[in-house]
């Protein structure tokens, strides 16, 4: 249908909301509470517009289009209403923009500038004094900066199926909090950081490790090494003005050396190693009648979700550590021995797209001898801040290769950054382990893409293997519900905590839309298409590691360093 907007005709679709049609026509209408693909609430009222025949302003996010309707999006009345809303929000907001981590990247700040808010017309006497909740290993909550848009609540409940936070109390005392207003550390929070990705202010932010890493780099008694995850190289460049999906892998390595890291390793190497162990574990379970379906264990938010919400599936989890933790263990064992270093003097840093990796690094099950295998985790955003602090633009340095012995990777390891990538890589190697041959078509198309749940049937030696891929924990929860109800046609399930996988993790650049996530995914698929070595079992560095140190997949040495265990958790709900 046709509707008139600001004296020009645009197309609209029956049944859709006005805001959707406006965005498709590139008409900019601000909003603070709207979330794409979720039912609109109309809570913030920033998207109000004038519609001919309507006495009051209407929220465009929750107002259905009608044939022949006439809309004014930026009339004096609509703009005045938006400005008043922003002024009222600012009346109860801290004046610490200069010190805020979201300065120059804050939706509320941007709206204030856009609407010409230059003075404080309203002054609020605060009835409550809120203190920042720093109890979580991954996320900091600052209720004083919360504007009650509700995005974090909805993502946590509707997208992730966790519901660790909600609106509590009433009236002017309303704020977002956990059950019984306790710290995040004792809540059901799984540390995924998707709440941070949608928060328009800095009411939610990651627990920063920047100071600790910079202190270590300045300490002459520390041997500081770093690893970077597969998804980081296709997202970091966005922080420096390049298009989504631009791959800066070699430039990232060079820039990290400029920061002062003694060795730069590629976590894609240990992703290949993970596949060797995980595919071997799957084959063993298939042959010996082990617990099926086997569930992947690379995503720490997913692990905590199973421990809290589905503890009966803990035995189904692969015992493999994540690539981050596998490499961390090898750095302080094999690498330390090879280089003649005291493991206690090695400071191991991981650059991850994920806030839950901060929690994972501190899990006692994943350290040895009272020491963590990974000492600090930086998100993609934190790394960008460090580069800016040191005057380094990683898009303008000469590319370099990662260091041996953990610098070689295959494209299968690189695919770990996208939902379906772990499954695709594992199937390639599992097929080889079971048959001695490579898959005829290495591209496993049914497990690719951004759908929340994807399934495939793969025939190996006359046996049909049922596999499924889920991203976003609400999707994973529904899939586990089907298995619990008796579904028996799946033998292997990959789950990534964040919708889309690590390329859309809670530590990635803020403000990315679905198109940006697709571009990041395409970049990983292009790497897989263009490079020659596409299966993990052909990684020569991984082969040498087994020959020199680990013996073989699932050996005593590999179990001691590369595998772990998980357990049921009790949480406040």
Q: How far is CA 531 from CA 129, 240, 265, 290, in A?
A: 56, 26, 19, 35
- Rounded to whole angstroms, how far apart are CA atoms 135 and 189? 12
> For position 463, what pLDDT does the model report?
85
Domain match, 342 and 483 both: yes
Residue 495 sits in a domain whose CATH number is 3.40.50.1780
Residue 555 has pLDDT above 60, yes or no: yes
- Rounded to whole angstroms, how far apart are CA atoms 297 and 278? 9
Which sequence positions are flagged as catalytic? Answer: 278, 281, 298, 318, 357, 360, 365, 502
Q: Is 351 a member of any domain?
A: yes
Return the closest-CA partner of residue 339 out of 292, 274, 404, 410.
404
Residues in the chain: 573
Q: Chain centroid to CA 52: how far?
A: 43
> For position 173, what pLDDT does the model report?
86
Share of the chain above pLDDT 90, in %: 94
Kindly compute the dihedral angle of the four CA atoms of residues 258, 371, 413, 560, in this order, to the nearest 10 degrees.
150
The residue out of 207, 232, 266 marking a domain boundary is 207
What is the tens place of the pLDDT at every residue in 198-221?
999 999 999 999 999 999 999 999
Stretch 264-276: mean pLDDT, rounded?
A: 98
What is the tens place of the pLDDT at every residue in 333-343?
999 999 999 99
Domain match, 184 and 258 both: no
Q: Is 118 a member of any domain?
A: no
> For position 202, what pLDDT does the model report?
96
Domain match, 172 and 215 both: no
Residue 28 sits in a domain whose CATH number is 3.10.20.740
> For position 181, what pLDDT does the model report?
92
Q: Is 423 a member of any domain?
A: yes
Per-residue three-class SS string for 24-36: HCCCCCCCCCCCC
Q: What is the DSSP string of 413-460?
A: HHGGGSTTHHHHHHHHHHHHHHHSS--S----GGG-SS-SEEEEEEEE
Q: Is 430 a member of any domain?
A: yes
Residue 157 has pLDDT above 60, yes or no: yes
Domain match, 550 and 425 both: yes
Residue 571 has pLDDT above 80, yes or no: no
Residue 179 sits in a domain whose CATH number is 3.30.70.20
Residue 230, sorted as left (phi over 0), alpha (psi -120 to 50) or beta, turns out to be alpha
Domain match, 184 and 147 both: yes
Share of the chain above pLDDT 70, in %: 99
What is the tens place of the pLDDT at every residue in 44-71?
999 999 999 999 999 999 999 999 999 9
> For position 126, what pLDDT does the model report?
66
> For position 128, what pLDDT does the model report?
63
The residue out of 207, 225, 246 marking a domain boundary is 207
Q: For residue 452, what are its two tokens?
A: 């929340």
Mean pLDDT estimate for the chain: 96
> For position 544, what pLDDT does the model report?
97
Domain match, 180 and 222 both: no
What is the tens place of the pLDDT at every residue in 384-399?
999 999 999 999 999 9
- Rounded to whole angstroms, how far apart are CA atoms 286 and 347? 39
Q: Is 107 a member of any domain?
A: no
Domain match, 195 and 301 both: no
Domain match, 163 and 270 both: no
Stretch 92-105: mean pLDDT, rounded?
A: 93
Q: What are phi and psi of 492, to 5 degrees?
A: -145, 130
Stretch 109-116: mean pLDDT, rounded?
A: 96
**Total domains present in the chain:** 3
Domain match, 285 and 395 both: yes
Domain match, 198 and 220 both: no
Q: What is the DSSP string of 546-564?
A: IIIII-STT-HHHHHHHB-
Stretch 554-566: mean pLDDT, rounded?
A: 97
Domain match, 315 and 448 both: yes
Q: Is 573 a member of any domain?
A: no
H and E: helices and strands count for the chain: 19, 19
> For position 127, what pLDDT does the model report?
57
Q: What band does 123 get if pLDDT is binned at 50, 70 and 90?
A: confident
What is the tens place of the pLDDT at every residue in 414-460?
999 999 999 999 999 999 999 999 999 999 999 999 999 999 999 99
Domain match, 156 and 233 both: no
> For position 573, what pLDDT does the model report?
54
Q: Is 289 a member of any domain?
A: yes
Q: Is 568 a member of any domain?
A: no
Please give the residue range of the domain that contains residue 140: 126-207
The residue out of 62, 88, 114 marking a domain boundary is 88
Q: Are the CB atoms for 495 and 470 separated by under 8 Å?
A: yes
Identify the three-state secondary structure at position 64: strand
């Amino acid at each position: 249908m046709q509707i008139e907007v600001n004296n020009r005709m645009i197309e609209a679709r029956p049944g859709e909301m006005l805001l959707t049609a406006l965005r498709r026509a590139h008409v900019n209408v601000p909003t603070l509470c709207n979330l794409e693909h979720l039912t609109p609430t109309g809570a913030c009222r920033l998207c109000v517009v004038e519609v001919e025949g309507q006495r009051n302003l209407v929220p465009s996010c929750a107002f259905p289009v009608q044939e022949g309707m006439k809309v004014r999006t930026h009339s004096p009345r609509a703009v005045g209403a938006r400005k008043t809303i922003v002024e009222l929000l600012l009346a109860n907001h801290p004046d610490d923009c200069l010190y805020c981590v979201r300065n120059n990247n804050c939706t509320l700040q941007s709206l204030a500038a856009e609407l010409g808010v230059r003075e404080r017309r309203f002054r609020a006497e605060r009835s409550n004094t809120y203190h920042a909740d720093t109890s979580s290993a991954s996320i900091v909550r600052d209720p004083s900066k919360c504007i009650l848009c509700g995005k974090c609540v909805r993502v946590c409940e509707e997208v992730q199926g966790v519901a660790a936070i909600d609106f509590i109390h009433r009236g002017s005392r309303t704020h977002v909090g956990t059950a019984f207003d306790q710290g995040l550390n004792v809540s059901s929070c799984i540390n995924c950081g998707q709440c941070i990705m949608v928060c328009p202010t800095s009411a939610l932010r990651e627990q920063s490790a920047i100071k600790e890493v910079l202190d270590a780099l300045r300490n002459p008694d520390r041997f500081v090494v770093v690893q970077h995850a597969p998804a980081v190289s296709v997202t970091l460049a966005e922080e420096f003005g390049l298009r989504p999906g631009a791959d800066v892998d070699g430039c990232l390595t060079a820039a990290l050396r400029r920061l002062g890291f003694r060795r730069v390793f590629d976590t894609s190497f240990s992703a290949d190693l993970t596949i060797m162990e995980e595919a071997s574990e799957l084959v063993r379970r298939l042959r010996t009648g082990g617990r099926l379906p086997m569930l992947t264990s690379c995503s720490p938010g997913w692990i905590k979700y199973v421990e809290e919400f589905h503890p009966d599936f803990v035995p189904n989890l692969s015992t493999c550590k994540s690539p981050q933790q596998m490499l961390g263990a090898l750095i302080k064992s094999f690498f330390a021995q090879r280089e003649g270093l005291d493991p206690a003097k090695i400071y191991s840093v991981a650059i991850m797209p994920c806030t839950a990796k901060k929690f994972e690094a501190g899990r006692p099950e994943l350290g040895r001898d009272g020491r963590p295998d990974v000492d600090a985790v930086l998100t993609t955003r934190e790394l960008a801040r460090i580069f800016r602090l040191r005057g380094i633009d990683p898009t303008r340095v000469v590319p370099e290769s990662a260091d041996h012995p953990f610098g070689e990777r295959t494209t299968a390891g690189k695919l770990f950054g996208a939902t379906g990538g772990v499954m695709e890589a594992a199937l390639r190697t599992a097929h080889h382990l079971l048959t001695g041959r490579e898959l005829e078509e290495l591209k496993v198309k049914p497990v690719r893409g951004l759908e929340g749940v994807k399934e495939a049937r793969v025939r190996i030696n006359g046996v049909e293997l049922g596999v499924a891929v889920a991203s976003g924990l609400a999707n994973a929860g529904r899939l586990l519900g089907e298995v619990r109800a008796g579904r028996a046609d799946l033998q292997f399930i990959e789950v990534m905590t964040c919708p889309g996988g690590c390329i859309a993790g809670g530590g990635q650049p803020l403000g990315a839309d679905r198109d940006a996530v697709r571009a990041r995914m395409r970049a990983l698929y292009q790497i897989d298409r263009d490079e020659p070595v596409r299966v993990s079992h052909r990684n020569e560095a991984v082969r040498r590691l087994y020959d020199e140190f680990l013996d073989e997949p699932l050996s005593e040495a590999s179990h001691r360093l590369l595998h772990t265990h998980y357990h049921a958790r009790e949480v406040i709900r």
